[in-house]
Protein backbone atom coordinates (compact mmCIF):
# COMPACT_ATOMS: atom_id res chain seq x y z
CA UNK A 1 0.00 0.00 0.00
CA UNK A 2 2.80 2.37 0.92
CA UNK A 3 4.51 1.71 -2.45
CA UNK A 4 1.30 2.59 -4.31
CA UNK A 5 0.94 5.91 -2.41
CA UNK A 6 4.61 6.76 -2.97
CA UNK A 7 4.34 5.95 -6.69
CA UNK A 8 1.16 8.03 -7.00
CA UNK A 9 2.81 10.99 -5.24
CA UNK A 10 5.92 10.78 -7.43
CA UNK A 11 3.76 10.59 -10.57
CA UNK A 12 1.75 13.63 -9.42
CA UNK A 13 4.92 15.62 -8.66
CA UNK A 14 6.47 14.67 -12.00
CA UNK A 15 3.28 15.68 -13.85
CA UNK A 16 3.21 19.03 -12.01
CA UNK A 17 6.88 19.65 -12.80
CA UNK A 18 6.36 18.87 -16.50
CA UNK A 19 3.32 21.17 -16.64
CA UNK A 20 5.37 23.92 -15.00
CA UNK A 21 8.18 23.46 -17.52
CA UNK A 22 5.75 23.53 -20.43
CA UNK A 23 4.21 26.75 -19.12
CA UNK A 24 7.63 28.33 -18.55
CA UNK A 25 8.55 27.68 -22.18
CA UNK A 26 5.56 29.74 -23.39
CA UNK A 27 5.99 32.57 -20.90
CA UNK A 28 9.74 32.95 -20.62
CA UNK A 29 12.56 33.58 -23.02
CA UNK A 30 15.61 31.36 -22.78
CA UNK A 31 17.84 34.30 -23.65
CA UNK A 32 20.21 35.70 -21.06
CA UNK A 33 23.08 38.16 -20.78
CA UNK A 34 24.12 39.98 -23.94
CA UNK A 35 21.65 38.03 -26.08
CA UNK A 36 18.73 39.18 -23.88
CA UNK A 37 20.11 42.73 -23.83
CA UNK A 38 20.26 42.82 -27.64
CA UNK A 39 16.75 41.41 -27.95
CA UNK A 40 15.23 43.99 -25.58
CA UNK A 41 17.13 46.89 -27.18
CA UNK A 42 15.82 45.69 -30.55
CA UNK A 43 12.25 45.63 -29.17
CA UNK A 44 12.75 49.12 -27.70
CA UNK A 45 13.89 50.37 -31.11
CA UNK A 46 10.89 48.82 -32.88
CA UNK A 47 8.48 50.25 -30.30
CA UNK A 48 9.79 53.80 -30.53
CA UNK A 49 10.23 53.69 -34.30
CA UNK A 50 6.47 53.09 -34.37
CA UNK A 51 6.05 55.97 -31.88
CA UNK A 52 8.24 58.40 -33.83
CA UNK A 53 6.56 57.45 -37.13
CA UNK A 54 3.10 57.80 -35.54
CA UNK A 55 2.15 54.22 -36.43
CA UNK A 56 -0.62 53.83 -33.86
CA UNK A 57 -1.62 50.37 -35.11
CA UNK A 58 1.86 48.92 -34.67
CA UNK A 59 2.54 50.89 -31.46
CA UNK A 60 -0.35 49.32 -29.56
CA UNK A 61 0.87 45.81 -30.41
CA UNK A 62 3.84 46.28 -28.06
CA UNK A 63 1.68 46.32 -24.91
CA UNK A 64 -0.37 43.78 -23.01
CA UNK A 65 -4.05 44.69 -22.65
CA UNK A 66 -3.62 44.79 -18.84
CA UNK A 67 -0.57 47.06 -19.05
CA UNK A 68 -0.05 49.47 -16.15
CA UNK A 69 1.78 52.78 -16.55
CA UNK A 70 3.12 54.44 -13.39
CA UNK A 71 4.13 58.08 -13.92
CA UNK A 72 5.59 60.32 -11.22
CA UNK A 73 3.51 63.31 -12.41
CA UNK A 74 0.25 61.83 -13.69
CA UNK A 75 -0.15 58.69 -11.58
CA UNK A 76 -1.35 55.27 -12.66
CA UNK A 77 -2.92 54.74 -16.08
CA UNK A 78 -3.28 51.78 -18.38
CA UNK A 79 -3.46 50.49 -21.94
CA UNK A 80 -6.39 52.65 -23.09
CA UNK A 81 -4.81 55.87 -21.82
CA UNK A 82 -1.46 55.02 -23.42
CA UNK A 83 -3.07 54.34 -26.81
CA UNK A 84 -5.17 57.52 -26.51
CA UNK A 85 -1.97 59.49 -25.80
CA UNK A 86 -0.39 57.95 -28.91
CA UNK A 87 -3.40 58.89 -31.05
CA UNK A 88 -3.16 62.49 -29.79
CA UNK A 89 0.57 62.51 -30.46
CA UNK A 90 -0.09 61.34 -34.02
CA UNK A 91 -2.09 64.48 -34.80
CA UNK A 92 -0.65 66.90 -37.37
CA UNK A 93 1.72 69.48 -35.91
CA UNK A 94 2.89 67.31 -33.01
CA UNK A 95 6.61 66.69 -33.44
CA UNK A 96 7.28 64.79 -30.19
CA UNK A 97 10.15 62.31 -30.69
CA UNK A 98 11.76 59.81 -28.36
CA UNK A 99 15.30 58.49 -28.39
CA UNK A 100 17.04 56.10 -26.05
CA UNK A 101 20.02 57.66 -24.27
CA UNK A 102 22.95 55.62 -25.54
CA UNK A 103 24.70 53.59 -22.85
CA UNK A 104 21.97 54.18 -20.27
CA UNK A 105 20.17 50.82 -20.50
CA UNK A 106 20.40 47.84 -18.24
CA UNK A 107 18.47 44.64 -18.95
CA UNK A 108 17.78 41.89 -16.44
CA UNK A 109 16.03 38.56 -16.92
CA UNK A 110 12.85 38.04 -14.93
CA UNK A 111 12.71 34.24 -14.64
CA UNK A 112 9.43 32.72 -15.75
CA UNK A 113 8.19 36.05 -17.08
CA UNK A 114 10.51 38.00 -19.37
CA UNK A 115 12.84 40.94 -18.78
CA UNK A 116 13.26 44.24 -17.02
CA UNK A 117 14.70 47.22 -18.95
CA UNK A 118 15.97 50.21 -16.97
CA UNK A 119 17.29 53.30 -18.68
CA UNK A 120 16.99 56.91 -19.71
CA UNK A 121 15.27 58.35 -22.73
CA UNK A 122 15.02 61.80 -24.24
CA UNK A 123 11.82 63.32 -25.56
CA UNK A 124 12.03 66.38 -27.79
CA UNK A 125 9.34 68.61 -29.27
CA UNK A 126 8.64 72.18 -30.27
CA UNK A 127 7.06 74.27 -27.53
CA UNK A 128 6.26 77.97 -27.97
CA UNK A 129 8.35 78.04 -31.15
CA UNK A 130 11.42 76.61 -29.42
CA UNK A 131 12.78 73.06 -29.65
CA UNK A 132 12.73 71.59 -26.14
CA UNK A 133 14.13 68.29 -24.86
CA UNK A 134 13.93 66.48 -21.55
CA UNK A 135 15.72 63.36 -20.34
CA UNK A 136 13.80 61.03 -18.05
CA UNK A 137 14.24 57.64 -16.39
CA UNK A 138 12.12 54.59 -17.08
CA UNK A 139 11.57 50.94 -16.29
CA UNK A 140 9.85 48.64 -18.80
CA UNK A 141 8.76 45.19 -17.71
CA UNK A 142 8.69 43.04 -20.84
CA UNK A 143 6.61 39.87 -20.82
CA UNK A 144 7.62 37.06 -23.14
CA UNK A 145 4.56 34.98 -23.95
CA UNK A 146 3.67 32.82 -26.94
CA UNK A 147 6.89 33.85 -28.66
CA UNK A 148 6.23 37.60 -28.37
CA UNK A 149 7.68 40.39 -26.27
CA UNK A 150 5.16 42.92 -24.91
CA UNK A 151 5.41 45.55 -22.20
CA UNK A 152 3.17 44.84 -19.22
CA UNK A 153 4.40 47.50 -16.78
CA UNK A 154 5.99 50.92 -17.24
CA UNK A 155 7.47 53.17 -14.60
CA UNK A 156 8.36 56.66 -15.83
CA UNK A 157 10.04 59.04 -13.38
CA UNK A 158 12.42 61.93 -12.69
CA UNK A 159 10.42 64.43 -14.72
Task: For 43-91, write each residue's pLDDT tens digit.
Answer: 999 999 999 999 999 999 999 999 999 999 999 999 999 999 999 999 9
151: in domain? yes
CB 40, CB 117: distance < 8 Å: yes
Give CA separation, 66 vs 21, 28, 34, 122, 136, in Å: 24, 18, 29, 26, 24
Residue 12 included in any domain? no
**pTM surpassing 0.85?**
no
Residue 15 included in any domain: no
148 within some domain: yes
d(C-alpha 151, C-alpha 142), whole Å: 4
Per the document, the length of the chain is 159
At residue 51, the 3 state secondary structure works out as: helix
Q: Which long-range contacts (CB under 8 A, 24 or more apart) does 90-96 make?
A: 90/54, 90/56, 94/125, 95/125, 95/126, 96/123, 96/124, 96/125
Q: So what's the pLDDT on residue 29?
A: 67
Report yes or no on 88 lying in a domain. yes
The answer to whether position 135 is within a domain reads yes
pLDDT at 9: 32
Q: Are strands 106-110 and 130-145 parallel, antiparallel or unpaired?
A: unpaired
Segments forming the whole domain that contains residue 83: 29-157
Distance CA 125, CA 134 (A): 9
Backbone phi, then psi, for 155, in 5-degree steps? -125, 120
Does residue 109 lie in a domain region?
yes
Distance CA 18, CA 7 (A): 16
51 domain-assigned: yes
- Overall number of domains in the chain: 1
Output the CA angle 139-142-145, nearest 5 degrees.
170
2 vs 49 pLDDT, higher one: 49
Question: pLDDT for 83-131, tens place per residue?
Answer: 999 999 999 989 999 999 999 999 999 999 999 999 999 999 999 999 9
CATH of the domain at 124: 3.10.450.50
Amino acid sequence: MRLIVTTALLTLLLTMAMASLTNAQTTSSSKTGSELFSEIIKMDSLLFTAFNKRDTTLFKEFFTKDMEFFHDKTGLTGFDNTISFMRNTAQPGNDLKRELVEGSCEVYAVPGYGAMQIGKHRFCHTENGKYDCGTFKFVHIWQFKNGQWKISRIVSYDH
